[in-house]
Amino acid sequence: MIELSGLTKRYGDKVAVNNLSFTVRPGIVTGFLGPNGAGKSTTMRMILGLDHPTAGDVRIDGRHYEQLKDPLTAIGALLEAKAWHGGRSARNHLLCLAQSNGIADSRVREVLETVGLTAVARKKTKGFSMGMGQRLGIAAALLGDPRILMFDEPVNGLDPEGIHWIRNLMKSLAGQGRTVFVSSHLMSEMALTAEHLVVIGQGRLLADTSMADFIARNSRSYVRVRTPQRERMRDVLHTAGITAVEAGGGALEVDGGKPERIGELAAQHQIVLHELSSQQASLEEAFMGLTAESVEYHAQAGPAPGPAPGQAPGPAPGQAWGDGWRKG
């Protein structure tokens, strides 16, 4: 279990993490979400004692990181930056870590096998691809067989196979009763991985809720209707107790009605339909709505690197904040 209470970090007059209080529980994957610069990595560094809080407190199973004996056996972490010497082999890097934490050498072979690096175990890590580097970082996190695991943007730079592998690994670690805390700035990725969500923006807590609750609250479904007899269609729906609002492109957005029912009502009243389609607002849109106020990095007006004319003023669904977006 990881417990944060009033955790705060200032860099000069910049408040990177602002009074965060939440608990990360065992047995489930908890997603830690927020736009670029929200304070995710800073929070994770404070959990690991790599940064000192300006105020507040964070505990790992009731203790501060510095109080843990053989910390790798309590909490394993993959942080953003590569934290190893390029001249060492993957195996030697892990052996050094194992020896300084009282972990048996045989465990190195096991974790190399788990992350699929056995074949390159004796190669120098400076030649590793980004995906291999991520796998080595994960091997280090798993080395002490810790009850708590923390991953900062683990799927960055991975190919689809790697992303799939990490997703399943995190779920199986949580399934073994471990605490799994993973950051991302992609809602779409978290929707497939996490059972619980902690969302922050500009260092502040915006949501601490189950994924099921987030989906139930935020993924609105509606029916889109286009008809040359719009006013009449609205009246017919209104009489049937169904609400319709004007949407773009001369369409109606209908809440609380199935397309079958709407189509039948239109037929009964001889209303011509040009479109009748079920729509679902994506979680990515819901997440962007939630964090919109606190996004630090906005697209610039003008052609590059902002959106092309006619494109939405933000990253496309599935695209990361920061991919071609710079501080506004």
Ligand X SMILES: Nc1ncnc2c1ncn2[C@@H]1O[C@H](COP(=O)(O)OP(=O)(O)OP(=O)(O)O)[C@@H](O)[C@H]1O
* Nearer residue to ligand X within complex by CB, 17 or 254: 17
Interface with Mg ion by CB under 5 A: which range of 24-32, 38-46, 170-178, 218-226? 38-46
The CB-of-184 to ligand X minimum distance in angstroms stands at 8
Q: Is 39 among the residues that bind ligand X (CB under 6 A)?
A: yes
Q: Does 37 bind ligand X (CB under 6 A)?
A: yes
Rounded to 10 degrees, what is the CA torsion of 264, 269, 275, 276? -30
Q: Which does 14 bind (CB under 5 to 8 A by kind): ligand X, Mg ion, none?
A: ligand X
Q: Least separation, in Å, of the C-beta of 126 and ligand X?
A: 24
> Which DSSP helix (H) or strand (E) runs through 56?
strand 55-60
Q: CB of residue 35 vs ligand X: minimum separation in angstroms?
A: 7
- Helix H or strand E encompassing 94: helix 90-100
185 near ligand X, judged by CB under 6 A = yes
Q: According to the binding rule CB under 6 A, does residue 41 interact with ligand X?
A: yes
Q: How many residues of this chain bind Mg ion (CB under 5 A)?
A: 2
Q: Considering the rule CB under 6 A, would residue 52 count as an interface residue with ligand X?
A: no
179 forms part of the interface with Mg ion (CB under 5 A): no
Which residue number, 22 or 222, has a Cβ lying nearer to Mg ion? 22
41 binds Mg ion (CB under 5 A): yes
Binding piece for Mg ion, criterion CB under 5 A, among 39-47, 167-175, 207-215, 317-325: 39-47
Q: Do β-strands 243-246 and 204-210 pair in parallel, antiparallel, or remain unpaired?
A: unpaired
Query: What's the Cα-to-Cα distance from 203 to each of 19, 36, 38, 48, 150, rounded to whole Å?
Result: 8, 11, 5, 18, 18
Helix ranges, 116-202 (H) = 130-142, 160-175, 187-193
Closer to Mg ion by CB, 16 or 207: give it: 16
Are 275 and 224 a contacting pair, CB within 8 Å?
Answer: yes
With CA atoms as reference, report the closest residue to 1 among 29, 26, 30: 26
Cβ burial, residue 174 (10 Å; 0-12/13-18/19+): buried
Residues 6+ apart with CB under 8 A from 161: none
From the list 16, 98, 103, 117, which residue makes contact with ligand X (rule: CB under 6 A)? 16
- Tell whether residue 14 is a contact of ligand X (CB under 6 A): yes
**Partner in contact with 37, chosen from Mg ion, ligand X, none, beta carbon below 5 to 8 Å by kind:** ligand X
Is residue 30 a contact point for Mg ion (CB under 5 A)?
no
Tell me which stretch binds ligand X (CB under 6 A): 23-31, 39-47, 165-173, 240-248: 39-47
Residues with Cβ within 8 Å of residue 119, at least 6 apart in sequence? none
Cα–Cα nearest to 248, from 229, 271, 225, 266: 225
Is there binding between residue 38 and ligand X (CB under 6 A)? yes
Closest to 4 measured CA to CA, from 143, 167, 158, 205: 205
Where is 200: in which H helix or E strand? Answer: strand 196-201
Q: In the bound complex, what is the minimum distance in angstroms from residue 65's beta carbon to ligand X?
A: 17
- In total, the chain counts a number of residues equal to 328
- The residue ranges that bind Mg ion (CB under 5 A) are 40-41
- The residue ranges that bind ligand X (CB under 6 A) are 11, 14, 16, 34, 36-42, 185, 322
